[in-house]
Amino acid sequence: MPPKIKINFMLTNRIQKLFLLTAILEITHMPLELTLFGLNHQVYQDAKIVFDSIQSKFSVFSQNSDEAFIFMTGLFGLLWLGTIYLSLRGGKWQLGVVAFFSLLFISEIHHLVRSVIIWEYYPGTIVGLILSVLGIILLKEVIKEFAAPYFAKAS
């Protein structure tokens, strides 16, 4: 059997363009919704409940809310720098990074779920739905590309 040699791997143009579009939409998500639908203070109460819940999980490490916040910030930084490191490694690690963010984009469906629960428009629903759909498409592309051959036979 001939030896396998590693070929250069690069994300497809489709994945790159989908990721860029979705990333820009994610960044503009909140300002866009605020511009179109105004400020809803209930959203901030919901976010506070979520963050308080996360913070309470860290009470194992500290009872001090400032320390818990610093710990959460450190975890965020670790994830952020970890994704950058994996991207720099190249190869199929890049697909793992895109898959991670695809799952985050898909999680924006929570806006639609909240709209259904309260039976009225919940800020972020329109953009969140678009992000979820794009996240699913992006994840499908990543899975398809991940299954593609990464090694070529030596001639």
Q: Long-range CB contacts (< 8 A, 24+ apart) of 103-110?
A: 103/135, 103/139, 104/26, 104/135, 105/22, 105/26, 105/131, 105/132, 105/134, 105/135, 105/138, 106/131, 106/132, 106/135, 106/136, 106/139, 107/132, 107/135, 108/26, 108/29, 108/132, 108/135
Encode pLDDT of 81-136 as tens digits.
888 888 888 778 888 888 999 999 999 898 898 889 889 888 888 888 999 999 99
Encode pLDDT of 50-92 as tens digits.
777 777 777 666 667 677 777 778 888 888 888 888 888 877 8
* Helix ranges restricted to H, 58-148: 65-89, 93-106, 110-118, 125-147
How many C-beta atoms lie closer than 10 Å to residue 90's C-beta?
A: 12
Average model confidence (pLDDT) for the chain?
Answer: 79
Amino acid 155: pLDDT: 42
Number of domains within the chain? 1
Amino acid 42: pLDDT: 62
Encode pLDDT of 27-43 as tens digits.
888 787 777 777 666 66
Amino acid 154: pLDDT: 43
Amino acid 86: pLDDT: 82
| pLDDT score of 8 more than 60 | no
The H-or-E segment that residue 153 falls in is strand 151-153
- Give residue 25's domain range: 4-153
DSSP letter for 23, please: H
Amino acid 153: pLDDT: 42
